[in-house]
Structure 1
């Protein structure tokens, strides 16, 4: 299916939050050239990184998430600052790995493409990566002041599979990386 025929006819900002600006838009689509009204949350692009240690274990963080009022296991992730380029996305993956886990990548940073987090209401994209040969960084972890990372822990691939199967991992970013790793035969 072609992506031509899309055009924003009208856009009005209805929420001024610096974190989640919300817009009311009228968009012409290939099937609705007259346009349809939609509410859209504009979110920054993110990078999500699955850190793998030299012995093949995967590093997850357990982080408090205010909107759902609970902590959850997830791969490190963060928003890209400034212009969205291939390099700025990679830099974000490296930065978040160090900030959230205190580890850095001494192997490869393997791109796993991107996904839309919830295309029904937001344009947010997450670029997915596998970081190999992660080892402790001299600086250690330095989470953002708004983050509450409760634990950083290594899990085997089998433990990760079990956590996904039982619903212990329920973060969309982490599930997306897990799916890509599995589909590409990279979940060792």
Structure 2
């Protein structure tokens, strides 16, 4: 069997017949869309969450340890070990600026060096949520007088610095359930072999994010 080292997910626009909002919420909407897989195909209807997207940050110190934060997540009734993250819900704010803001707000840290670890659709069968995960190094603490005041679940955040190998073990043993944390940990472990030299710069394009999408002709969408 031959190997194709250049394989990648691809845009695949289909003919959109109808689109309506079934539920509108403060953060995301539920959208119902009718489309066809081919020009003369049977109409299909799919409901999904329209989400603004998010960024997450794997902060790594000079010793190669990574920062995990512990936070309560009500839908699963658990406290989860995660990495700092947040929504792309500030008008006009670019992805990297959002990541810088979230790292300061949730971890009281600023970073000098930023790279993209990976880009994900978190649940593409039911949600439009896109997530970009960054690796942040060259860390410094935010001065105490300038730190963000955290409320609600964020007020309970606990922080823990762990060795990357210990975090990998926790993922593989099923002790970490956050998809952003698991993906970030495994991606960082894979990138470590080259000294993180193969990672994209922090300001790399993100063409899969919905803000980069444009309308296609004949009612189809990208």
Question: Is this a same-fold pair by TM over 0.5?
Answer: yes
Structure 2 stretches lacking a partner, 5+ long: 1-8, 196-222
- With over 3 angstroms needed to count, the CA separation of the structure-2 counterparts of 1:161 and 1:2, relative to structure 1, is closer
TM-score (norm 1): 0.87
> Secondary structure at 1:96's aligned position in 2?
helix
State whether residues 81 and 88 of structure 1, in contact with CA within 8 Å, keep that contact through their aligned partners in structure 2: no
Matches within 5 A, 1:105-120: 105-106=111-112, 108-120=113-125
How many residue pairs end up in the alignment? 185
TM-score (norm 2): 0.75
CA offset at residue 35 of structure 1? 2.7
2:65 to 57, 63, 77: 57
- Further displaced range: 177-186 or 115-124: 177-186
Structure 1 stretches lacking a partner, 5+ long: none
2:94 to 85, 88, 93: 88
**Cα deviation per residue 1:67-108 (whole Å; 9 max; x = unaligned)?**
111100001100112457xx71101111111111111113x1
1:155 to 162, 172, 186: 162
CA offset at residue 186 of structure 1? 6.1
**Cα deviation per residue 1:17-59 (whole Å; 9 max; x = unaligned)?**
1223101111222498333100111111111110001221100
Report the RMSD for the aligned CA atoms in angstroms: 2.4
State whether residues 118 and 184 of structure 2, in contact with CA within 8 Å, keep that contact through their aligned partners in structure 1: no
Which contiguous aligned blocks of 4+ residues in structure 1 show a shift greater than 4 angstroms? none
1:11 to 8, 19, 32: 19
